[in-house]
Amino acid sequence: MPIIAPIPLKQKMCPTGRCDDLGLCPDCAAKLDRDMIRDRDWERSWTAWQTPADQREALRTHVVARYGARYELIVPPAPRRRRHKES
Ligand SMILES: [Zn+2]
């Protein structure tokens, strides 16, 4: 699994208290994964990481359609980082 760098989260622990300082529970990990996909942060999303590059946009479309475009766990963005201009 790719290492997830520190991300400003809206909440550190979920209401059930299953998240702790060391990690996220599966529910929150899934939310975070979807947030990474929303942000096109492919390297940090476990799901996207496993998805061929040419299918990631479709994956994102699917996530947004199913779960909505709002970020679930992270503080909404994070000024868009531009790595390289060319595609
Ligand atoms: Zn949790």
Q: What is the pLDDT of residues 26-83, one digit of tens each?
A: 888 899 899 999 999 998 899 999 999 999 999 999 999 999 999 888 876 556 666 6
Q: Using the mean position of ligand 1's atoms as its centre, give its distance from the Cα of residue 12 in Å.
A: 8
Asked if 19 and 12 count as a contact pair (C-beta separation under 8 A), the reply is yes
Query: How many domains, in total, are found in the chain?
Result: 1
Structural domain boundaries enclosing 32 = 26-67
Token pair of 22 as six digits: 């060391």
Backbone angles phi, psi at 23, to 5 degrees: -170, 170
Query: Could you tell me if residue 76 is inside a domain?
Result: no
Query: Could you tell me if residue 77 is inside a domain?
Result: no
Query: Could you tell me if residue 43 is inside a domain?
Result: yes
Q: Using the mean position of ligand 1's atoms as its centre, give its distance from the Cα of residue 7 in Å.
A: 15
Q: Using the mean position of ligand 1's atoms as its centre, give its distance from the Cα of residue 61 in Å.
A: 24
Query: Could you tell me if residue 33 is inside a domain?
Result: yes
Tell me the per-residue pLDDT of 52-65, one tens digit each, with 9 for 90 and over.
999 999 999 999 99
Q: Using the mean position of ligand 1's atoms as its centre, give its distance from the Cα of residue 20 in Å.
A: 8
pTM: 0.71
